[in-house]
Structure 1
Amino acid sequence: MEPLRWAWASRRAVAILAAVIVLLVGLAVRKWTGGAFAKYAGVALYGSLIYTLVVAIAPRLAPWRAAAVALGFCWAIEFGQLSSIPASLSKRSMLARLVLGSTFNAPDLFGYAVGIAPMAWGNKVLRRNPS
């Protein structure tokens, strides 16, 4: 495999592994904590998960571009909650509730960035030092 192609495949594999870890941590937080901590940790972890999925889909993207795509996606989901559609779908499906949420909450917009920023920074560090 060509070196550059190998790097992209490797980034994709690391991103998928990171997504699985973030998902497991998110489920653990949801199960074993509660209140404001669980709410905002969940929001940040959702942002982290979306970032890892963006990198898995497009491993060539620069870390900060991937962060912008992930943040835009998260914000689109959050602003979509201003309509009645996510709440309606969330009543019917646990998966829809986990992915789409149900109620707009402005502080979540910042929470997504809190979850995405360290992932983008870590991605940048790993790309600089691939050893």
Structure 2
Amino acid sequence: MPTSRASLPAAIAVAFLVLFAGLAIRKWTGGAFAKYAGVALYASLIYTLVIAIAPRLSPWRAAAIALGFCWAIEFGQLSSIPASLARRSMLARLVLGTTFNVPDLFWYAVGIAPMAVADGGLRARALHRRN
């Protein structure tokens, strides 16, 4: 994960890879695996976007922001707004979802945690190389 604006292309590349993986899993698999893998990868994508926007955030702060965003989206599904928007736009459906699902709250954390750990490891490695 990037630690400066110079690494923005890397963050964007990772975001596209995560997005592609999520869409591929949803297309070529099914059932609970597809649903929860998609939820976890959505959260991974949000983490990557947070780092792309604010590369100097610590991994754990970025993880907290990404998780808060994902949870806000999920709790927003308790209203009728996301479902209404989803009926009009596939993009809204992909970004906002339609139905609140308690297990999604856990799977967001599952998607974010490995990204934050990898980000922290890459940053430590880069710092070690500089010293």
- Which residue is 2:52 aligned to? 56
Aligned to 1:15: 11
Provide the rounded CA distance (Å) in 1 between the counterparts of 2:4 and 2:34: 34
- Structure 1 position 43 matched with structure 2 position 39: yes
- Structure 2, unaligned runs of 5 or more: none
How far is 1:15 from its partner?
1.6
| Shift, 1:92, TM fit | 0.8
Check conservation: 2:3, 2:56, Cα contact below 8 A.
no
Contact 1:11–1:55, Cα closer than 8 Å, also in 2: no
| RMSD over aligned Cα atoms | 1.3
Write the letter of the residue equivalent to 2:105. Answer: L
1:81 aligns with 2:94: no
- Opposite residue 35 of structure 2, the aligned amino acid is K
**In structure 2, C-alpha distance between the alignment counterparts of 1:85 and 1:44, rounded to whole Å:** 23
Q: TM-score, normalised by structure 1?
A: 0.92
Offset at residue 7 of structure 1 (A)? 4.8
Instruction: Work out the number of aligned pairs and report it.
Output: 126
Q: Percent identity?
A: 73
In the TM superposition, residue 30 of structure 1 has moved relative to its aligned partner by 1.2
Gaps of 5+ in 1: 1-5
Relative to the length of structure 2, the TM-score reads 0.92
Which portions of structure 1, spanning 4 or more consecutive aligned residues, are displaced by more than 6 angstroms? none
